[in-house]
Amino acid sequence: MPEAWWCLSWIWTTSKNFDPERSGPGGTILRGSSFLPRRIDWCRGGMCMKPILSILGGDMRQVYLARLLLEDGKDVITWGLEKGGAPKGVGLDQALRAGVLLLPLPVCRGGRLNLPLTDTELEAGRLWPRLRYDQLLLGGMTEELSGRVMTDFGLTLLDYYDREETQIANAVPTAEGALQLAMEATDRTIHGSRCLVIGYGRIGQMVGRKGQALGMKVLSVVHRNKPEGCECETMRFVSMDELLAQSDIIVLCAPGGGKALVDAESLPKMKDGVVIVNVSRGSNVDEGALLEALESGKVRAAGLDVWMSEKDPNWALAQHPAVSCTPHVGAGTKEAQKRIGAEIVDIIESFGK
């Protein structure tokens, strides 16, 4: 049997009779229809189809992924990644005609497609009507979005980040990158230091384990359910104020919320000479307050992988001599992107079976 990657073809069927008047432009199935996907022949009329993979937006992780997939012989085009130097850039109309669309991780921010590497903005609600029901959409952290695009537009959106393998592929290098930033941001050893990990999900736990292996005393605080079985002599949970006062290094791994975790209110509670590392969301740090704390010496150094605005970062902060920064590539190692690329190819191949 030919490889599924090159022979993906499928149709939509429904338990009810198809009603043409319920079909929108380009075959879009409108709200209320009950279509379900069913895959059929790999090839039609003996001719195998070679679907093009279009990578739409995202950050440097998508740029690296595009390069690796091209090196692997896949037919890839990109849009919305020009500031990252992505290969095979095309216009939006051409990008939207591809058989498989790879959307960012996460897909949307504030109702717009996640596009930090282009000056273009695209409302997500204006994207879906332009797509066809016979396209496969892959996105990261789609949450309730998948159900909405199926119900309203008859599209299939699969969450590639929902897989355990993909989350691990993202978490391991991000955790290693956080510790690397911590070491680059200070001239002292991290062995024996107290490390506060704010947000103890998959990445936070990975940072904690690797920090312990390097001889750090790891502390953490969580706002949701506390993971069981991880507290020991060198790992315990305490209150936020206690953590801030005791910690030599603070690593932010929590999802972005309405209020910054590092701001003018929390910084005075921190230990003098603290090192702050952010590999979570730019909104977790008040960049102006952090810059003032760096200037005063309250914060010894900072390692930043994310920014409030990735299109226009705070250059005064980025160029500060006590700041080590990277362009949101905490998970951008070649090995991690190869694993994520393999997972995406596997999803596409599985979808065609």
Residues known to be catalytic: 281, 310, 328
Q: Is the peptide bond before 106 cis (omega within 30 degrees of 0)?
A: yes
3-state secondary structure of 179: helix
Beta bridge partners of 22: none
Structural tokens at position 151: 């119900």
Q: Any idea what the Cα angle at residue 341 is, between residues 117 and 90, rounded to 5°?
A: 40
Residue 112 · residue 104 · CB < 8 Å: no
**Judging by beta carbons within 10 Å of its beta carbon (0-12, 13-18, 19+), is residue 92 exposed, middle or buried?**
middle
Length of the chain: 353
CA angle 32, 95, 280 (to 5 degrees): 80
Residue 215's region, left for phi above 0, alpha for psi from -120 to 50, else beta, is: left
* Spatial contact of 27 and 133, defined as CB atoms under 8 Å apart: yes
Place of tokens 């896949």: 74
Task: Give the three-state DSSP class for 275.
Answer: strand
In Å, what is the CA distance from 93 to each residue of 25, 130, 258? 15, 9, 35
For residue 242, CA distances in Å to 222, 227, 238, 245, 271 come to 13, 20, 7, 5, 10
CA distances, 324 to each of 3, 127, 243 (Å): 44, 37, 23
Phi-psi region of 44 (alpha: psi -120 to 50; beta: other; left: phi over 0): beta
